[in-house]
Structures are given as structure tokens and as C-alpha cells.
Amino acid sequence: SQKIEQNSEALNIQEGKTATLTCNYTNYSPAYLQWYRQDPGRGPVFLLLIRENEKEKRKERLKVTFDTTLKQSLFHITASQPADSATYLCALDSTGGGNKLTFGTGTQLKVEL
Amino acid sequence: DVKVTQSSRYLVKRTGEKVFLECVQDMDHENMFWYRQDPGLGLRLIYFSYDVKMKEKGDIPEGYSVSREKKERFSLILESASTNQTSMYLCASSSPGGGPQETQYFGPGTRLLVL
């Protein structure tokens, strides 16, 4: 079955640095991969989608890469700010399609002053 | 802006009670989903629906049922609540097809405590 791995340990970085989060997957070749942000006690919010034929996608300070050979996506936040502190989830389209997603457990990011 | 609302933010119920969690979306989305989220386990799909009166089981449907009588409303039912159903419940909606329509829009969540 599909398996998605995100680093369960929190990532602590200093303000202004680039945060890099990793999403690895096995037993599947997704058509696309998405990243979501989740704040405590709230629902996830969509950030970026990258398709299997795209290597990189950018949106403001966010950048996502997708390496289908390594079965890995990297999520970068440049010039990080304390307001970027949250849990970041990656999600793959599930087998069987239909817009179902399989989510990773998320990585908590803490940006310190 | 897409808006997904859930009937309650916090809910406390007794073991054996029948529990209804309601979700409403205002973007005319065909797809609706119910997840539960637990520490260390992430988001797990309980049920989903592609159309009115249509439902399909997700990964953990046991102990749950759903109802979709209208396009905008998707209800999750705990037939007889148990303590292991204490969790954060999240509803989401999406529209089929290409482009950004694959993204899911989530409600604020309902934190359910079963005593």
C-alpha cells in the first residue's frame, strides 16, 4: 500500500533562513503531490500542487520540487518568518483516483527570532 | 473564497450515544470527504462522496456511516460512540477534473471527546 514519510521531529530554524521539509513515498507513482499547512486546532490549508511531469513549482517564498526517480518532494520556505511556524503536510493522489488524497503525518516547523 | 463549515468546534458525548457531525460547503463541489486526525497517525479517510446519495468507504469506515442528501451537505454519523472515536474530525470538499480542482478545502474541524 502507499506509504508517505515525513520527518516527525520538529524542525527549528532561525528567522530569515530557508526551511526545507522532506516528503518521501513508496509503493506508488502519484500523478501529483500537494503541500498543505495546518495551524493548531485548524483544518489544513492548501499551498501548492506539483504534477509528475513538473520538476519545480514556486509561489512567492515557497518552492516545491518533485523527483519521481527518488520518490521524494522537497518543500522550501525562503526568508522564513515566525508566522511560517505550523505543521506542513504532504499529500499524494490515492490509488484509484477520484481526487482522494493520502496524507503524510506532517512536519512541525518552528521559526525562531 | 471556498467555505467549508462544520456544525461544532467541540463536542463531548457519552459512550453509546449516536453522534451527528455535519459539514456544509458553499462552492458547489461534487466531492466531499470525512477524515479523522490523531497524533502520530495523521489524517485518515473515513468516508467520501462523489455525488448526492453516493458514498464510498475510505480507509477506516468501521463504526461510522455517512449521509449526503444534498450536494452541499455531508454528514458523518457515529452510530454508537466509543472512547476510541475521540479524535479531531475534519471535513473537506473538492471539485473533480484537472487544475487546482484536485485540491481539498477543509473545514475548521470538530474535536470530539467520548467519555
Mutation test of the interface with chain B: which of A99, A101, A107, choosing the one with the most B Cβ atoms within 10 A? A99
Query: Do the Cβ atoms of B43 and A8 come within 8 Å?
Result: no
How far away is chain B from the Cα of A80, in angstroms, using its nearest Cα?
24
pLDDT digits (tens, 9 = 90+) for A65-105: 999 999 999 999 999 999 999 999 999 987 666 678 999 99
CB contact under 8 A, B94 and A99: yes
How far away is chain A from the Cα of B1, in angstroms, using its nearest Cα? 12
pLDDT digits (tens, 9 = 90+) for B27-70: 888 899 999 999 989 899 999 998 898 999 999 999 999 999 99
Quick check: B107 and A43 CB within 8 A?
yes
Read off φ and ψ for residue B83, nearest 5 degrees: -60, -30
pLDDT score, position B107: 97
Say how many C-beta atoms besides its own lie within 10 A of residue A32's C-beta.
18
Query: Looking at beta carbons, which residues of chain A come within 8 Å of B98?
Result: none
Q: In what order do the strands lie in the sheet with B4-6?
A: B4-6, B19-25, B73-78, B64-70
How far does A12 lie from chain B, in Å, by closest CA? 19
Tell whether A44 is within 8 A of chain B (Cβ).
yes
